[in-house]
Structure 1
Amino acid sequence: MMKKILKYSFITILSLFVLIIGGVLYLVLTVDMMEPKLTEPVLSHQLVKTDNYRQWGDNYLHRSKSGLWELKVSGSDFERGLAIGKLSEDLLYYQEQVFVNEIKRIIPSETYLRFLGYFTLLFNRNLAMNVPEEYRREIYGISLSCSHEFDYIATPYERQLNYHAAHDLGHALQDYMLVGCSSFSTWGSLSADSALLIGRNFDFYVGDDFARNKIVMFYQPDSGYNFASVSWAGMTGVLSGMNEKGLTVTINAAKSSVPTSARMPISVLTREILQYASNIEEAYQIALKRRTFVSESILIGSAKDGKAIIIEKSPDNIGLYEANGQSIICTNHYQSDTFREDDRNIENIKTSDSQYRYDRLNELLKECIPLNEQSAADVLRNRMGKGG
């Protein structure tokens, strides 16, 4: 009798195991990253290249005296991506190599790395449908210049698409351990010339090598507004930027729940805002219609509106925070009525340094009013604590 029970138990467990493995394999094998199917001819230009300058058609990349790379691209989505890839092929390789090496340093086990790769592929299986086609085509254009050295992870296009979600997934799983951004804005009587002034620290660290080749990107897209952003090779999303209408975006992580499925990466949302919004209302409407991976505060400055506000976005909700006066501060917690009683936000304020940095910024801004570009930079560089 006992043998029969053990036999049937074994068969049941084995059947469940086979079903689970089969289900996982089915999901992995049916992942559709919606790789663009091109119908237009691929542009062919002569690449002009020196140590600090490259040109491909009307697009160029050069290294300025500041040490930053400056990139200018124009045209359709695919044309922009193709140009970025042609101009920055060595930077793309360097950036990916540094990123993969950092992952290997954190996770030295090849077996676990392989498992993590399958998990990421499985988790992000619906990522492509949350990235607008325009940006998928741009990413695809870039991917044509990516190395095949890392094809054991995924195809160049799949890797580049997934890298845009890496910030969000890492933010959620590590509870923004690597991120502690601070930003602020002043206008009216609190700015030296009454103009809108924005300052931000992007305290996201993945090693010195990863931050070595920053690129200031100047986009002239065939739809939407021209804009500039600060980024690195391969990153088409926006972390900090300004468009020709005087609209600015910067992002600050907030405490987030672990996502259960892929949604729009936050940097892709802010890219869409920067490219297609000219004022606060338009920016808010774009954010309202999109569902994102994780929780973020998006500081929006608007020359048209003459002020700055904060769009507070979570996977399931959205809030808008407006300051009473002529300044606004953003760290890593929410301030709007929408999230005032949110348990996760309350815990974040109590257990993180976000409120402390907010208070310190408030002190520094009061000392420097009216603020100009130099005093704003001094505030951002100040390393002293409260009362210091």
Structure 2
Amino acid sequence: MYTSARVQTGSKKKKSTGKRILKGFLYFLLFLVLIFAGLIGYIVMVGKLDPPQVADKSALQLQRKALDQSAYTIGNNWFRKSKSGLYELYVEGKPFERGVIYGKLADELVKRQEDHFTEQIRKMIPSTTYLKFLRYLIGFFNRNLDEYVIDEYKKEIYGVSFAGSPNYGYIGTNYERIMNYHAAHDIGHALQSVALVGCTSFATWDEQSADSSLIIGRNFDFYVGDKFAEEKIVAFYKPSEGHKFMMITWAGFTGVVSGMNDQGLTVTINAAKSEYPTGAATPVSLVAREILQYAGNIKEAYAIAAKRKMFVSESFLVGSAADNRAAIIEKTPDSLGMYTPGQHFVTCTNHFQSDQLKGTVSNEKQMAESASMYRYERLRELMERNGPNTVQNTVNILRDHRGLHDKNIGIGNEKAINQFIAHHSIVFKPKERKFWISTAPWQEGEYVAYDMNKIFEMKGLQTDHEICDSALIIPADTFMRTDTFRNFLTYRKLKAEVADHKKVDPAQIVASNPMFYHAFVLAGDQAFKDENYRIAKDYYQQALMRVIATKAEEVYIRKQIDACDEKSLK
């Protein structure tokens, strides 16, 4: 009896202790939930971007007039699709007004472009729940973003936002989304540090150009899926303040990545090695936009770049008809430099060259481990070989897909000037205010010519007609008619199928692009997934025998070879 009672008493004590532990755990769990909810609430609160105050919103009542199925006007403003496949836009007026007009004229494109952008994001992040959470994180990261954007551009972006899609409210309001999209380019550059896909640009003048005038060429290699690059816009702006200018852009985007103003000043941007951002600052494209709109020479461009804070590192290649030369303004979140070459040409890939920044640890690492230096050397090799530069020579260089000394490094290699991912490629002749813009696919189609002076002399668009200078069009690249190009298209198709987790024959992948190391990496990955470790190792080893773009990719390949050995022993 005594023993039985003692056992029951002990049992009650154990149950009581268990209840206390469970109760304590539940309280702790509740505490964590409250903390997490509070954190989310805080992120939502600080991530919210309120639109600017606009006194006159009468522009919202404007209606576009259709000239035909692909051309529209609002007053002197117009939007049309060229036979080349390029869209053309002209807008004028005050910030909010021109933003609204931009959105109304290109309404379908603004919505479609966001569809393409979010479709690509969904491929990387298929979970809607995680996308919503990511919205809060991006909102927190970009908290106070609008404090770093000048009022003029906030009003313009706000105007455009009225054309935003109604389908993405879970990401943010139209204004919040479009404002944040202007920073997506910068975040992309920072996060691509593992495998930076970079742009290439260069300029020649005086004896380095056949007619001594300034010529500038660039490839803009910013890839957010094929659909994103399908509907490029050649935009002409006549703002109420500042210089008239043109830029190559995509619907809903008001920043500048490539452009020229009526003073003959050009701006193109090239990413440099960046640390991971820790907070908001002025998006690079809006710094470039301000330079284009308000600078008339290199000195004025430098002054504008100096007064803006950025959260990534970037090179601005600035060409100036007034100076008849070009220079590179190099900017990091906390430093500024200028590279003015001692010769009459300048080349720019994805590393710094100025005395102020070339010796930094991050830049030296970029030069040693990325594709930048290789592409830089190839660019200079071609420039030296071609002699005094012309527009046609510039296009030839921008289309070049080989490695140093014409080595076959595979089609699509990041070390090549033409990586077959370019959103656009463009050539400027600032003194004449003329430019040539590439048409699909990539740099392989025609380069369509425009005379900027003639566009700005137009008084609206009365009938839908071609506005490019047809006499100056540069023909499509004959490379498109080769078996090598056709095989490359097969390679891209197979690569997309691998990304979609479809089963692909590894031998087909390497056969479609046999000199490209990444074809062997993809084949190795597919064989590894199929547990064919001996075959996978062979593909990885063959990849090492080819020209690899970055140190990070070489490290990955060697790790996979080790993994194959480990799996084979089991």
Say if 2:375 is the partner of 1:369: no
Matches within 5 A, 1:95-106: 95-106=113-124
3-state SS, counterpart of residue 356 of structure 2: helix
Find the aligned partners of 1:30 and 1:338 in 2 and give their Cα distance. 36
Shift of 1:65: 2.6
Partner of 2:161: 143
Deviates more, 1:256-265 or 1:118-127: 118-127
3-state SS, counterpart of residue 145 of structure 1: coil
Deviates more, 1:261-270 or 1:150-159: 150-159
Find the aligned partners of 1:252 and 1:111 in 2 and give their Cα distance. 34
Per-residue CA deviations over 1:22-72 (Å, capped at 9, x if unaligned) read 144123224342302221141344422222211111100111232211100
Partner of 2:43: 27
Say if 2:363 is the partner of 1:345: yes
Deviates more, 1:152-161 or 1:49-58: 49-58
Find the aligned partners of 1:268 and 1:329 in 2 and give their Cα distance. 23
Which of 47, 50, 64 is the matching residue for 1:47?
Answer: 64
CA shift in 2, pair 1:16/1:106, >3 Å: closer
Find the aligned partners of 2:194 and 2:228 in 1 and give their Cα distance. 18
Which of 224, 237, 258 is the matching residue for 1:240?
Answer: 258
Shift of 1:108: 1.0
1:247/1:302 contact within 8 Å kept: yes
3-state SS, counterpart of residue 339 of structure 1: coil
Partner of 2:534: none
Find the aligned partners of 2:30 and 2:63 in 1 and give their Cα distance. 60
Say if 2:53 is the partner of 1:37: yes
One-letter identity of the residue aligned with 2:52: P
3-state SS, counterpart of residue 290 of structure 1: coil
Shift of 1:15: 4.3
Find the aligned partners of 1:42 and 1:161 in 2 and give their Cα distance. 22
1:188/1:195 contact within 8 Å kept: yes
Which of 299, 302, 308 is the matching residue for 1:281?
Answer: 299
Matches within 5 A, 1:103-118: 103-118=121-136
Matches within 5 A, 1:165-184: 165-175=183-193, 177=195, 179-184=197-202
1:176/1:255 contact within 8 Å kept: no
Find the aligned partners of 2:189 and 2:215 in 1 and give their Cα distance. 28
2:379/2:397 contact within 8 Å kept: yes
Find the aligned partners of 1:45 and 1:255 in 2 and give their Cα distance. 44
Which of 92, 98, 107 is the matching residue for 1:89?
Answer: 107
Partner of 1:213: 231
Q: Which has the larger radius of gyration?
A: 2
2:195/2:370 contact within 8 Å kept: no
Find the aligned partners of 1:387 and 1:223 in 2 and give their Cα distance. 49
2:90/2:237 contact within 8 Å kept: yes
3-state SS, counterpart of residue 260 of structure 1: coil
Partner of 1:306: 324
Considering Cα pairs closer than 8 Å and 6+ residues apart, tell me whether 1 or 2 has the greater RCO.
1
Find the aligned partners of 1:340 and 1:99 in 2 and give their Cα distance. 34
Number of equivalences:
388
CA shift in 2, pair 1:47/1:224, >3 Å: same
3-state SS, counterpart of residue 337 of structure 1: coil
Once superposed, what is the RMSD of the aligned Cα atoms?
1.9
Matches within 5 A, 1:248-263: 248-263=266-281
Deviates more, 1:279-288 or 1:17-26: 17-26
Find the aligned partners of 1:368 and 1:30 in 2 and give their Cα distance. 55
Deviates more, 1:30-39 or 1:152-161: 30-39
Say if 2:77 is the partner of 1:72: no
Matches within 5 A, 1:124-139: 124-139=142-157
Find the aligned partners of 2:102 and 2:196 in 1 and give their Cα distance. 28
| Percent pairwise identity | 49
Gaps of 5+ in 1: none
Find the aligned partners of 2:335 and 2:30 in 1 and give their Cα distance. 42
Partner of 1:360: 378
CA shift in 2, pair 1:51/1:177, >3 Å: farther
CA shift in 2, pair 1:10/1:337, >3 Å: farther
Find the aligned partners of 2:349 and 2:27 in 1 and give their Cα distance. 55
TM-score scaled by length of structure 2: 0.65
Say if 2:207 is the partner of 1:189: yes
3-state SS, counterpart of residue 229 of structure 2: coil
1:78/1:141 contact within 8 Å kept: yes
Partner of 2:284: 266
Partner of 1:332: 350
Shift of 1:111: 2.3
Partner of 1:121: 139
Per-residue CA deviations over 1:342-370 (Å, capped at 9, x if unaligned) read 11100100000100000000000011121
One-letter identity of the residue aligned with 1:54: Y
One-letter identity of the residue aligned with 1:189: E
Per-residue CA deviations over 1:187-224 (Å, capped at 9, x if unaligned) read 00010111111000111111111101000000000100
Per-residue CA deviations over 1:273-301 (Å, capped at 9, x if unaligned) read 00000011111111111111211111000
Shift of 1:12: 6.7
Per-residue CA deviations over 1:55-102 (Å, capped at 9, x if unaligned) read 111100111232211100000001110110110000011100011111
Deviates more, 1:88-97 or 1:55-64: 55-64
Say if 2:180 is the partner of 1:162: yes
3-state SS, counterpart of residue 330 of structure 2: strand
1:46/1:57 contact within 8 Å kept: no
CA shift in 2, pair 1:163/1:176, >3 Å: farther
Shift of 1:233: 0.5
Find the aligned partners of 1:47 and 1:310 in 2 and give their Cα distance. 41
Deviates more, 1:182-191 or 1:28-37: 28-37
Find the aligned partners of 2:151 and 2:48 in 1 and give their Cα distance. 14
Find the aligned partners of 2:34 and 2:396 in 1 and give their Cα distance. 61
One-letter identity of the residue aligned with 1:172: A
CA shift in 2, pair 1:201/1:117, >3 Å: same
Which of 54, 60, 65 is the matching residue for 2:78?
Answer: 60
Q: Please identify which structure carries the higher helix content.
A: 2
Find the aligned partners of 1:239 and 1:176 in 2 and give their Cα distance. 22
